[in-house]
A and B are shown apart, each in its own frame.
Chain A
């Protein structure tokens, strides 16, 4: 076998190993993420259109068109991004994966968790969502799960905290 053989994608995918059951986050996270970004982009598009109408110059329409395209791209991208978020609870650690283009997978051992945060903003609260963040002694651990249904976040927090307590090690 040559070393330069093109990568085998499906079976050897390191981000989707067999025997793991991934939980997905709520689809409402798409709304939670799209509302603020689409509002901003939409406002900019409207401003651009008004300016274009006021000046009457044809080339000014470049700006509103750009923002409309950006909005369409977001409408396509965000659902895929949200769908790519997953977490899996194993006996001794929690796995979190994210991203489509730039993919990351983080393994956080329960015994390493220093504290857990559940955060809710006004919009996510209206949608009944919450995000859970795990903190270890390392600043490099980017272990947060956005878009959990509120009760799942609470349950997960208590469950993880209990497991962490049982396995807590020194640093």
Chain B
């Protein structure tokens, strides 16, 4: 990804974020039941959406790698997975802050948060796996297989934990009932800068990955001489 594009994304993201923050903090009224902390939802929910997009993109990239054997797909997979992981962490942290403020406890075993935690563990495992393999082609192949398994598992995780919670209900982070249309607009509007940020981060990571591969290849060639 060219440097100019990355800078454009970051600047756009910054501008949008500034505007959104103004709207979120100063324009929107307090939500009836939840108070001021409700505003954290405008980061909490889009962060989750961005994370899922990242994981989905990683799954597609992994399949493409196995089919085409082009290491660029592998680089893409690791870049979007890392970005997804970062946004998943953001989702978890904002959720925990919310829970602490509203109910006084950090973790309520809410179905969505718990599922997101499992996702985070899955993809953290993916990164750990990559660190354990030295050789790039082998690493790409092994990581791709694991990524496919993890992706197939994600929906099953969400269903199973939701069923678990329906059988033993607990306080839910943001009941998810009806929300004022004004809120929905802001929610989507705040998703845009987060996405741009995510794309910029993935782009930076991709370039780093490419440079790293070149270095590794040069090192090997130097050894072979």
The answer on A and B forming one complex is no
Which residues of B are in contact with A by a Cβ distance under 8 Å?
Answer: none
Which residues of A are in contact with B by a Cβ distance under 8 Å?
Answer: none
